[in-house]
Copies of this chain bind each other. A is one copy, B any other.
Amino acid sequence: MEEEEVEGATTSETPPRASPKASPQLNRWSRARALLSGHRLDWSALRNKTTSSSPPSPASLSSSSMLDEKSPSISSEEHDRENDEEEPRTPRPGDGKAIYMVSDGTGSTAENSVNAALGQFEHCLVDRGCPVSTHLFSGVNNMDRLIEIIKQAAKEGAILLYTLADPSMADTAKQACKVWGVPSTDILRPTIEAIANHIGVAPSGIPRGAPGRKPLNEDYFKRIEAIDFTIKQDDGALPQNLNRAHIVLVGVSRTGKTPLSIYLAQKGYMVANVPIVMGVELPKALFDINQEKIFGLTINPVVLQTIRKARAKTLGFQGEMKSNYSNMEHVRAELNYANKIFAQNPVWPVIEVTGKAIEETAAVVVRIHHDRKKKCFIPRISKRY
């Protein structure tokens, strides 16, 4: 696996570097620790050491003629002047290693990918053993702004992760990062290239937010309708509309029905949710609709009690109401009541939400929903474009 990691690193646009365990990396890390502990270091001297790619020589700079042509403001002269004139800011302790995300669109792809990637470092992020700060620069649609950001990244010792649809912007980012010794990776390019090769069509190079796109497609109206519907159907409202829902969620209070409904609505599903409350009968309409639409949610009683206690505090519950809502015996009794209902309706899949993020529960719901519609060999969610 060691080999695989090194290979992975060199295929990205980051200048080839050793695996995290190799010594230059460890040196960087201990230097970073020294920085964080409050020592003020000579940043410009440090940077040349920190990035394992050597600082740009005049020869390498003049060879990047493309860069100079496109953006006269980043010649090597200006670069040097910049360094002389301005004392680079020392990153504040506690800020952690900076990750710059740059996009010519909303930046949601960069943000989403970086968040997913950071999930791989949870083991040291949680206790702030490896503090990190992310900085999103969205709507970066001209070279000057891009260059300005890369200069700032160099000063902060940041990494630059970017999604730039315009190939000349992506190219500038890559080259400017090389010039200033900023490690960089094009997040989306490998995926775009793979699809281009697969379908035999060259990418347009036009950012998604660019004017002239078809603004109001079917998908747009579908999503808006789904959100409208879902808000109106929240918390058991209007049971007569249950038959119009694509998905119906059933569970006791604070199993996350509402946020899950809202998340699914954003994806275009019309969702209704119906609370299970001990002593209150479920609406008759629930049993008249297609039972394959209905999903039960369940949760660990201890976790539910914690959530309900927090909720009772927010709502200012007092006395009997508070104890009924978050009292352990009541919580267990209500979950048992719900489980009895689920047992009586074996068609409803019951999803255990304990410890799951909303996205994770949603992924399960959507997978089952599509499976039931398509009856595929391997569970999958298919779309045509």
The CA-CA distance from A377 to B155 in the complex, in Å, is 13
Contact call B355/A215, Cβ cutoff below 8 A = yes
A61 at the interface (CB under 8 A from B): no
CB interface residues, A 208-239, toward B, < 8 Å? 208-209, 211, 213-216, 220-221, 223-225, 227-228, 231, 234
CA separation between A340 and B207, bound complex, in Å? 33
Rounded to whole angstroms, the CA-CA distance of A165 and B385 in the bound complex is 28
Interface residue from B125, B165, B201, B360 paired with A124 (Cβ < 8 Å) = B201
A17 to B197, CA, bound (A): 8
Q: Please, how many angstroms separate the alpha-carbon atoms of A357 and B109 in the complex? A: 14
Q: Within the assembled complex, what's the spacing in Å between the Cα atoms of A153 and B19?
A: 32
Q: A138-B363, A171-B1 are in contact. Are A148 and B14 (CB under 8 A)?
A: no
A113 CA / B135 CA spacing, docked (Å): 19
Q: Which residue of B lies closest to A157 (CB)?
A: B198
**Which residues of chain B are near A139, meaning CB under 8 Å?**
363-364, 367
Known contacts A183-B198, A198-B97, A378-B137; is-contact A116 B20 (Cβ 8 Å) = no
- State whether B11 touches A211 (Cβ < 8 A): no
Query: Are B197 and A9 within 8 A (Cβ)?
Result: yes
Asked if A55 lies at the interface with its beta carbon under 8 angstroms from chain B, I say: no
Which of these, B107, B185, B199, B216, contacts A191 with CB under 8 Å?
A: B185
Q: Contact: A20 with B109, CB < 8 Å? A: no
* Contact indicator A25/B197 (Cβ below 8 Å): yes
A interface residue count range (under 10 / 10 to 19 / 20 to 34 / 35 or more): 35 or more
Residues of chain B within 8 A (CB-CB) of A114 are 191, 195
Cβ 8 A contact of A188, one of B113, B148, B381: B113
Tell whether A240 is near chain B: CB-to-CB under 8 Å.
no
Contact A214 B167, CB 8 Å, known A17-B197, A137-B379, A231-B234: no
Shortest Cβ distance from A215 into B: residue: B355
Q: Is A328 an interface residue, CB under 8 A from the partner?
A: no
Give the residue of B135, B206, B359, B383 whose beta carbon is less than 8 angstroms from that of A108: B359
Extra contacts besides A117-B192, A183-B197 (13): CB < 8 Å: A1-B171, A20-B201, A95-B384, A122-B204, A134-B382, A136-B381, A137-B379, A161-B194, A208-B357, A216-B355, A224-B259, A231-B231, A262-B262
By a beta-carbon cutoff of 8 Å, the part of chain A in contact with chain B is: 1, 4-5, 8-9, 11-14, 17, 19-21, 25-26, 28-29, 32, 94-97, 99, 105-109, 112-114, 116-126, 128, 130-139, 145, 148-149, 152, 159, 161, 163, 165, 167-168, 170-171, 183-206, 208-209, 211, 213-216, 220-221, 223-225, 227-228, 231, 234, 256, 258-259, 262-263, 265-266, 303, 306-307, 310, 314, 354-360, 362-364, 367, 377-385
A-B contacts, 5 of them at CB < 8 A, read A1-B167, A116-B191, A118-B385, A136-B381, A187-B190
Q: Which 4 A-B pairs have the closest CB atoms?
A: A29-B200, A215-B355, A12-B190, A120-B203
